Structure 1
Amino acid sequence: MTSFGHVLKDIRAARGMSQAKLALALDSTQRHLSFLETGRSLPTASFLARICRTLDLNIAQRVNIYDASGLANPYAQRDIRSEEIHAALDMIEVRVLKNWPFPALVLDPDWNVLRSNSAFDQIFGGLMPQGNAPPNLLEVMMSEMFQGLVQNWDEAAGILFYRLQRAAAHSPRIAQVLRTAQSQGRFTGMEHHLGELGEVPIFLPIRLALPNGPVMELSSLLGKLASCQDALIEGLEIELMVPLTEASEQSMRGLAGPK
């Protein structure tokens, strides 16, 4: 079986699709797909584009399947240290983070903080480790220090656990941090608390009490740029923190200072 055949079969299996079902979606035949998966045929550029469009492959998957096909790959594989990626991060910082009045971050798939705005630095900078390497938000949030600041940890643990569980499927580092946190009992009260809730409210805030500061109820907006065509940038997450109460908003604006 060719490399392309392996990749195509893996994508098809991950979608729970038979050869016949995928062939129908691609307006092709099961025989053609069988030949592609066994290496008896190679895809044309137009058919490969049709696979990407029909299966709605993300950029990383498109890079992978184009590389496996042997065809010219239109998706550049850039290095995180390249000038182009640096410029893209600068654009996100200037156009998005600096225009958000509350704390905001750009995180890589391992939750390393690649960019932050002044509101985040002023409110949470003291909680982040110092050094040349980008601070890791997850390691901070899983620490005893951070847990001690969260007044409703059992509530917040449920929010964090399911988000981390999804991220851990694509990041060995997050998977390891999650396993360590579980072994340390960070999530032991989560199931019991959820069982006591009855009807779950629309928002479950993180109720955070900063040292010698106010109590703030927070959530986050998570986003990506819809027109992104780079696998590295597509893998980043823009996190915009949101105060859930008027008092929390006033506290955050006061701590962040003037824009």
Structure 2
Amino acid sequence: MEFGSVLKEWRQLRRVSQLDLGLSAGVSSRHISFMETGRSRPSRGMVFRLCEELDVPVAQRNRMLLAAGMSPAYAERDLSEEEMAPVREAVQWMLTRHEPYPAVALDRHWRLVDMNVVSTRLMAGFGVSIGDSMIDMMADTAAVRQALVNYDEIVEHLIARLRVEYTHFGHDPVLEQGIAKLETALGSEGAVQDGIRPAIIPAVYDFGGMRLSLFSTISQFGSTEDVALSELKIEMMFPADTATRLALEALATA
């Protein structure tokens, strides 16, 4: 795809006019128009400036550079590489220190990259392990539907988050298909909530009498210059009540 088409795609995705983009990037709207039609070729610095103004994620910045006939600027390193040792240690530190509460590392497409011992035990009940998709687990696994008491409510929140990520990352077919699968699994009505919504929406699981109520926070690495690392996220789950805290403490020492 030509650079002009990629630029226009991102500008429209961000709902920014040529005039507004030109003003924020310090060029005329005419110059933006000329770049989109191919009448002007951007410099490498201009590509980076436009990416900043349009909040283009790292992987897509490489795509824009390649479309402009330039070499990519960001590598995509595997976590197993020697250079990534400090990152692996940081991930392991977060996962391990979070016990006895569950914590997992996920890639851009919500595939499990790593998890702590408590998460491994819980995920085993759903037949899920490293490399599997959490989106597929939520959409396709009968055991999840059976155990997750407020399934519809949690799936609605997951769909909303995936839509935000889809907008951020651009037209990602994996996320798009994941959203469609979850919407199918949810059905037409979804969850119904009366009154003021609570401060947090915990996922409530019933494992044969052991009830776990968990809410989560998601962390990502800042100031990254690597494609995979910029997309890696750590989800840490916390007990929403005392009974859940005690159950997780018991599970960790079992």
Unaligned runs of 5+ in 1: none
Deviations for 1:11-47, whole angstroms, at most 9, x for unmatched residues? Answer: 1122222222211111111222222222222212222
Where 2:6 maps in the other structure, the secondary structure is helix
Q: 1:215 to 1:111 in 2, by over 3 A?
A: same
2:195 aligned with 1:198: yes
* Structure 1, 46-55 or 86-95: larger mean CA deviation: 86-95
Question: Do 1:157 and 1:187's aligned partners in 2 also have CA atoms closer than 8 Å?
Answer: no
Q: 1:82 to 1:245 in 2, by over 3 A?
A: closer
Where 2:125 maps in the other structure, the secondary structure is helix
What is the CA distance between 1:217 and its match in structure 2? 0.7
Matches within 5 A, 1:86-165: 87=85, 90-101=88-99, 102-129=101-128, 134-142=131-139, 143-165=141-163
- Match for 1:141: what amino acid? M
2:254 aligned with 1:255: no
Matches within 5 A, 1:45-56: 45-56=44-55
Unaligned runs of 5+ in 2: none
Q: Which residue of 2 aligns with 1:237?
A: 233
- Match for 1:160: what amino acid? L
Q: Which residue of 1 aligns with 2:211?
A: 215
Q: 1:187 to 1:13 in 2, by over 3 A?
A: same
Where 2:205 maps in the other structure, the secondary structure is strand
* Structure 1, 121-130 or 21-30: larger mean CA deviation: 121-130
Q: Which residue of 1 aligns with 2:173?
A: 172
- Match for 1:45: what amino acid? R
Q: What TM-score comes out, normalization by structure 1 length? A: 0.81
Supply the distance in 1 between the matched residues of 2:184 and 2:111 (Cα, whole angstroms): 22
Matches within 5 A, 1:9-88: 9-76=8-75, 78=76, 80=78, 83=81, 87=85
Question: Do 1:106 and 1:237's aligned partners in 2 also have CA atoms closer than 8 Å?
Answer: yes
CA RMSD of aligned residues (A): 2.9
What is the CA distance between 1:149 and its match in structure 2? 1.0
Supply the distance in 1 between the matched residues of 2:82 and 2:5 (Cα, whole angstroms): 32
Supply the distance in 2 between the matched residues of 1:48 and 1:182 (Cα, whole angstroms): 36
Question: Do 1:52 and 1:62's aligned partners in 2 also have CA atoms closer than 8 Å?
Answer: yes
Supply the distance in 1 between the matched residues of 2:33 and 2:148 (Cα, whole angstroms): 54
What is the CA distance between 1:88 and its match in structure 2? 7.0
Supply the distance in 2 between the matched residues of 1:210 and 1:89 (Cα, whole angstroms): 34
The number of aligned residues is 249
- Match for 1:207: what amino acid? V
- Match for 1:115: what amino acid? D
What is the CA distance between 1:126 and its match in structure 2? 3.2
